[in-house]
Homo-oligomer: A and B are copies of this chain.
Amino acid sequence: VKVALLSGGVGGARLARGFSALDRVDLTVVVNVGDDERVYGLAVSPDLDTVVYTMAGMEGGQGWGRFEDTFDVMKHLSVYGADTTFRLGDADLATNLYRTTLLDQGVPLSEITRRIAATWNLNATILPATDDQLRTEVETKDGWLSFQEYFVFRKHVDEVVGIRFAGAETSRPGPKVVEAIDAADLVVIAPSNPPLSIWPILNIAGITGALAEAKRVVAVSPLVGGKALKGPADRVLASLGFSPGNQGVAEAYGDLLDVIVVHHHDDPPEGLTVRRTDTLMPDRRASIRLARFLVE
């Protein structure tokens, strides 16, 4: 079964981990790059790294970074009085130095990601949604902020009243992205933040077109009991004017979906085929279970 998974960070990464454990699944993960930014001069790609680290079984416990990483460089950096809010562990720094070195040499992000995934022998194809410059920006009462300014530096406490994707108009789908969606028996939208993590992917014209033609598109709701498990998805949907709960998730995806998967007894959205299961993925076993449910 060919599966194309559209993914943000943690939720998508955990579902990718599940799919990649299934023998009969040929998995391509199309990952959001709207969160990418230069931090400390380094080209960070938080969602790509979370997907890779999680699939390699070495993700950090807080939803970012690497397992049991050390923070010596951050410690030395704080001696200078630098802002170390954006924490990069020593091993995680190496990934970012590697990516930045190659980007500055003109190597496309897709090729860099391929090399990183190959280093960890991942059983899937990991694709950035685009090799072009697409950046998510959010509007708050203090004006427009870059994604990392909003998410990490201001800890996503601001109310989001607008969202835009700088560079989306001129961004082309990354290599193999459209082919993967075209070939997929099943396109899955991961339980990621719809406006912040999935919209950046959907705003690339070539991808939107491919999804409209896709055989079957299934979204897994990121809400459980109407709340986001992690991050501000419920608050962002509400402040952007969507309905509460899974109804809002369905609205955020418009007419893209064939099916939505919601957690056991949660309210179903109207006008869509709904499937119910345990959507929580606290560990690898749960990820595999949910992935198997989606394939079946």
- Which residue on B lies nearest to A42, using beta carbons? B41
Q: How many copies of this chain are found per oligomer? A: 2
Task: Encode A76-111 as 1/0 by CB contact (under 8 A) with B.
Answer: 110111110000001101110110110110000000
Q: Is the CB of B40 within 8 A of A81?
A: no
Query: Does A157 touch B at the CB level, under 8 Å?
Result: no
- With the chains together, A77 CA to B102 CA distance in Å? 12
Q: Is the CB of B70 within 8 A of A101?
A: no
Query: Does A43 touch B at the CB level, under 8 Å?
Result: yes
Q: How far is the CB of A120 from chain B (nearest CB, A)?
A: 9
- With the chains together, A73 CA to B93 CA distance in Å? 7
A119 proximity list for chain B (CB < 8 A): 79-81
A103 proximity list for chain B (CB < 8 A): 41
- Which residue on B lies nearest to A97, using beta carbons? B40
Query: Does A255 touch B at the CB level, under 8 Å?
Result: no
Q: How far is the CB of A59 from chain B (nearest CB, A)?
A: 15
- With the chains together, A82 CA to B105 CA distance in Å? 13
Query: Does A38 touch B at the CB level, under 8 Å?
Result: yes
Query: Does A270 touch B at the CB level, under 8 Å?
Result: no
Chain A residues proximal to chain B, CB less than 8 Å? 38-43, 70, 72-77, 79-83, 90-91, 93-95, 97-98, 100-101, 103-104, 115-116, 119
Contacts A41-B43, A80-B115 aside, 16 further interface pairs with beta carbons under 8 A come to: A39-B101, A41-B42, A41-B97, A41-B100, A41-B104, A70-B72, A72-B72, A72-B91, A73-B73, A73-B93, A76-B93, A76-B95, A77-B94, A77-B97, A79-B94, A82-B97
